[in-house]
Amino acid sequence: MGVIVQKYGGSSVATADKIKSVARRIVETRQQGHAVVVVVSAMGNTTNELLALAASVSDDPHRRELDMLLTVGERMSMTLLSMAIHDLGYPAVSFTGSQSGIITTDNHTDARIIRVTPYRIREALDGGSIVIVAGFQGVSERLEVTSLGRGGSDTTAVALAAALDADYAEICSDVDGVYSADPRHVPGAARIEALSHEEMQVLADAGAKVLNAEAVEWARRNGVEVRCSKTHGDRAPGTWIRQRAGLAQRRVVAVTDHPGLFFLEPAEPGLPCPAELESTLVAHGASDAQVWRLPGGWSALVPRQNVHGNRAFLQALDALGGVRVREDLTLVTVVGRGLSTPPSVLRPAKKALATAGILSRGTLLDAGRVAFLVDGSQAKAAVDALHRALIEDAPRVGPPTDSPDPAGAPD
């Protein structure tokens, strides 16, 4: 019996009714003949409520204690989900990250999974149980409970899928897959049937929230297939993320703006980049920042979501000196493959922005992306213009989806 690992995010289990509905979805998967391991996040807003509780007793909560507190959220959702499955007449057992053998670094509140030793999960699966695992958490070699940082439940699911040699990891959320742009803002946006790990990684780094970037990295390194599906409502095909062989042909996959960035630049033209900039970034959780030190100057992009406390972070940057922090800019990224191969995709992209009256303040280009630094107020318009020019109206250079490839053609 093949194993499927399913992950349900916080909004999928936000209420008792949603938990019961997720329980039914899990049982359906089981009835289809799969062994099922489920990774679950904390209910709805629980994690933020726990952070607020910590803030109410301490200005700077001790990290080890904060991890013990935050991991409560998934412990609650996993037990409730397990109870709901029992009520449907199926055996289920819930395990914490520690009980699941999720071994992590001891970097509290932002730990990384080192390895997975799922002895208890295997034993429970062999005994016929559906297994529910607390996402977002693990245990260090020193036996301390750790949390993986935001979005860590995706990584838990992919790492477990790799360790259990699962058929695939299914990431279930409110949306039915990965789209070529945010369909709430771009009417022409379409669901992508399949994309490569590399494409998904660029997309996640560029700000798409459907799947955590580190989880995609785990999936790529371990060859795990990932399916992004909708939790509630009718079953839809979703989006598959798969290993793809060398890709010669250009293909523009999606356009996205970043949901929240700090842009750092010299406080005055010509001021050098502080030597301790990178270590300061890492110390405040922003290990996913991008820093450019170039002959003509320097700048840095810092995703806000992983920064531990904006106030302390901004104070630390202030202490470095010579750094200007801008919150009015964002990055709009075109994700694809072969994008730096001539004929350059940069030219039609720039033309589309200019036609829409959008000023690009900077450009990044490599094989997987073309990105523009624009005013935050113009981000949605920029996505719209780029999506129309490069995807909707574009001559189809590569297949728009990975639906059956042309016979025998290497893809």
60 binds its own copies (CB under 8 A): yes
CB-nearer residue toward its own copies: 142 or 347: 142
d(CA 70, CA 150): 11
Side chain identity at 283, as an amino acid letter?
A
Size of the site for its own copies (CB under 8 A): 37
Tell me the C-alpha to C-alpha distance, in Å, between residue 222 and each of 1, 147, 164, 177, 243.
Answer: 21, 22, 12, 22, 10
Site for its own copies in 98-157 (CB under 8 A): 99, 143
Q: Torsion angle of alpha carbons 309, 310, 314, 316, nearest 10°? A: 10
CB-nearer residue toward its own copies: 75 or 232: 75
- Interface residue with its own copies among 29, 86, 122, 287 (CB under 8 A) is 86
- Interface residue with its own copies among 14, 51, 64, 250 (CB under 8 A) is 64
Site for its own copies in 162-191 (CB under 8 A): none
Q: Is residue 254 a contact partner of residue 335, using CB atoms and an 8 Å limit?
A: yes
d(CA 78, CA 95): 8
89 binds its own copies (CB under 8 A): no
11 binds its own copies (CB under 8 A): no
> What is the number of H-type helices and E-type strands within the chain?
12, 20
CB-nearer residue toward its own copies: 67 or 384: 67
CB-nearer residue toward its own copies: 46 or 173: 46
Q: Is residue 196 a contact partner of residue 204, using CB atoms and an 8 Å limit?
A: no
**How big is the CA angle at 54 (ends 50 and 58), to the nearest 5 degrees?**
170
Q: Which stretch binds its own copies (CB under 8 A): 19-27, 239-247, 250-258, 331-339?
A: 19-27
- β-partners of residue 171 are 7, 228
Strands 102-104 and 137-140: parallel
Q: Which stretch binds its own copies (CB under 8 A): 61-69, 104-112, 255-263, 281-289?
A: 61-69
- Interface residue with its own copies among 41, 82, 129, 256 (CB under 8 A) is 82
- Residues in touch with its own copies (CB under 8 A): 16, 19-20, 23, 50, 53-54, 56-62, 64-66, 68-69, 72, 75-76, 78-84, 86-87, 92-94, 96, 99, 143
